[in-house]
Amino acid sequence: MKIFDRVKKNYSKLERRDFLFAYLIVLFPVAQFLIFWFYVNASSIGLAFQDSMGNFTWANFKMVYNGFVDEDMLGINLGDSLLRSFILWIVGEGFIFPITLITTYVLTKKIVGHYVFRVIYYIPGLMGAIIWTLLIKEMVAYSGPITKTLLSLGVDLPLGARKNGLLRHEDTAFVTLLTVRSIMGIVGNNAVLTGAYTRVPDELFESAELDGAGFFTQMFKIAIPCIWATICTLLTFALCSIFTCDYNVWLFTDGTGRYGTSTIGFQLFNLTYRLSTGSGSTGYGYPAALGVVLTAITLPVVLVGKHLLEKMSENVEV
């Protein structure tokens, strides 16, 4: 009571009303965090150590181990799925992301037709994952334009790919998925990077031009250092999703993950979905244990990666 009396004495009625409004505004996201993040994750960790009767067990982690060294109950090797996820991430962040930095910078320099190219960049993001996936599936089907174009160019496609499409043969399915990931990755961060580039003062570029700096010199010496904080944030978020993003494997393969396309993110979703529909052969303990193992792998990677990115940002001079 003394605390409330002190508040009444030190603050006016209007100020106390403002404080109450601020607390009520903050209350919703805090409650959302406690329920949908803390409670859900704490429950998942608890499920990893429980059997179907709620008793303590290590059997779920043994099934995860067997899934890595052999196959899980769905006939998919978790080690291969983990490797595919890593390959997709490396291609997306190590190869496609630098290309996105360059293409976005070129568009912000207002070249001829830059408005048209910018609209073309935004169209895939506006279409939605399901529509985009259905469109790609039709294009790479056995009668699709991409498959026909490859055959007309003399590309020696496997017989199964020619009969069933590029996504239905082990030699072409993952390569097709990797290509789609690359195309979508180029346009993925375009809006964020465009906003970051446009905040760089024009005076810096004008001064560099007077000093004789070329196009790429301005980009690597001025533009990228100025938006380095944004780049670090995007890469940190990318590290967090290194093993959990499913890259639309469910939609591309009709929920099967066959033909060598299964990723670890797809496998997590597939297991949980089958259990929720009653078609799974285990309890939620197995996918929960798999999530704990992936968290144990990802956490040090994210912490070390974030530390290195922060160290690099300290050395960046604008």
CB 151 within 8 A of CB 159: no
234, 218, 236: which is closest to 226 by C-alpha?
Answer: 218
| pLDDT tens string 97-154 | 888 888 888 888 877 766 777 777 777 667 777 788 888 888 888 888 888 888 888 8
What's the token pair of residue 207? 């001064």
The reported pLDDT for the residue numbered 273 is 84
The continuous run of DSSP H or E covering 211 comes out as: none
Strand segments (E) across 129-181: none
CB 290 within 8 A of CB 67: yes
Annotated domain spans of the chain: 2-48, 61-315
Output the pTM of the full model. Answer: 0.79
Bridge partners of 56, per DSSP, are 50
Which value, in Å, is the radius of gyration of the alpha carbons in the chain? 25
Helices (H) and strands (E) in the chain, counts: 19, 0
Q: What is the pLDDT along the chain (318 residues), one digit of tens a residue?
A: 454 555 555 667 767 788 888 888 899 999 999 999 899 889 888 988 988 788 888 988 998 998 888 877 777 788 888 898 888 888 888 888 888 888 888 888 877 766 777 777 777 667 777 788 888 888 888 888 888 888 888 888 888 888 888 988 888 899 888 888 887 777 777 778 888 888 888 888 888 888 888 888 888 888 988 888 888 888 888 888 887 777 688 888 888 888 888 888 888 888 888 888 776 556 788 889 998 999 888 889 888 988 888 787 665 545
Instruction: Write the DSSP symbol of residue 57.
Output: -
Q: Which amino acid would we find at residue 76? A: I
For the domain spanning 61-315, the CATH number is 1.10.3720.10
Instruction: Write the DSSP symbol of residue 213.
Output: -
H-type alpha helices, 34-96: 40-48, 59-69, 78-89
Give the Cα-Cα-Cα angle 141, 146, 149 (nearest 5 degrees).
125
Q: What backbone phi and psi angles, to 5 degrees, belong to 147?
A: -60, -45
311, 167, 195: which is closest to 251 by C-alpha?
Answer: 167
